[in-house]
Amino acid sequence: DQQVKQNSPSLSVQEGRISILNCDYTNSMFDYFLWYKKYPAEGPTFLISISSIKDKNEDGRFTVFLNKSAKHLSLHIVPSQPGDSAVYFCAASGGTYKYIFGTGTRLKVLA
Amino acid sequence: NAGVMQNPRHLVRRRGQEARLRCSPMKGHSHVYWYRQLPEEGLKFMVYLQKENIIDESGMPKERFSAEFPKEGPSILRIQQVVRGDSAAYFCASSPGSGGISYEQYFGPGTRLTVT
C-alpha cells in the first residue's frame, strides 16, 4: 500500500525552463511534507518542506505547493540548471518522525 | 562541521554471514533513524533510536535484524545470516530531536550491502 506516490519515474527539462515534480498521497493524517534530492552514491539531501497549514513555501529557485483537498503536492524549480539533475523524493509524515517516502522522480536537465 | 557519517560505504557478504553497518550522527544530534532502499523503490523506515533506547522498530524485519545506539560510539545496524534479499542501500539519518513536526532528518551517504 503506497501511501506516497510519485507517478513519473523520470522527467527531462531544458536548462532555464521550469521543472515540475509531482507527488500524491493517500493518508489525510499527513501534515508535514518534504522534498529531498539525491545524487548517485550519496544520501538524500533535504531541499524544502511545507506544513499543512500552508499551501506554498518558497526558497530561492524552489517552491513547493500543497493542495490538501486533492492530496497533492508539487515541487517547482525555476530556472532549472544542469546541476539540478538528480532523483527527487517526496516524503510525508503525520506529525511524527516517521517519514513515508515516494519512489522518486529522476530529473534530467538538458544543457 | 561533519555531517552524518556511515561506514563502510560498500559491504559485500556471502549468504549466512553477518553484516554490521555503522552510523555516527551529526554533532549535536541525539536521534538516529535507519532506512532501507531496495532497487527502484523509495526509502523505507526501519528503526528510530535515541541513546541507549529503541523508540520505534516497527519497520525492522522480525528476525535477523537488530539495531543499537550505545551511550558511546556510533549506532549499529546488525544483520545476521544475510540472504540475497538483504542486498540494498541502507541509509542512516539524524535529527536534533523528534518533537513536533518539523525536525528535518539529515542523511548519511549510505552503505550499499551486496550479498553474494
Residue B96 pLDDT: 82
Contact A46 B44 (CB under 8 A): no
How far is the C-alpha of B31 from the C-alpha of B33, rounded, in Å?
A: 7
The minimal CB distance from B104 to the residues A6, A49, A100 is found for A49
Provide the chain B residues 54-83 that lie in CB contact (below 8 A) with chain A: 56
Low-confidence ranges of chain A (pLDDT < 50): none
Question: Chain A residues with CB-CB distance to B under 8 A?
Answer: 4, 6, 31-32, 34, 36, 41-46, 49, 51, 89, 91, 93, 95-104
Q: Which three cell numbers stand for residue A57?
A: 513555501
How far is the C-alpha of A87 from the C-alpha of A47, rounded, in Å?
A: 12
Percent of chain B with pLDDT over 70: 93
Residue A2 pLDDT: 80
In what side-by-side order are the strands of the sheet with B65-68?
Answer: B5-7, B19-24, B75-79, B65-68
Residue A98 pLDDT: 84
Residue B92 pLDDT: 97
C-alpha to C-alpha distances, B33 to A30, A104, B20, B96, B101, nearest whole angstrom: 19, 20, 15, 12, 15
pLDDT at B55 over 50: yes
Please list, in sequence order, all residues whose beta carbon lies within 8 angstroms of the beta carbon of residue A4, skipping any fewer than 6 positions away: A23, A24, A25, A26, A90, A91, A92, A100, A101, A102, B42
Residue B101 pLDDT: 46
Q: Residue B88's beta-bridge partner residues?
A: B113
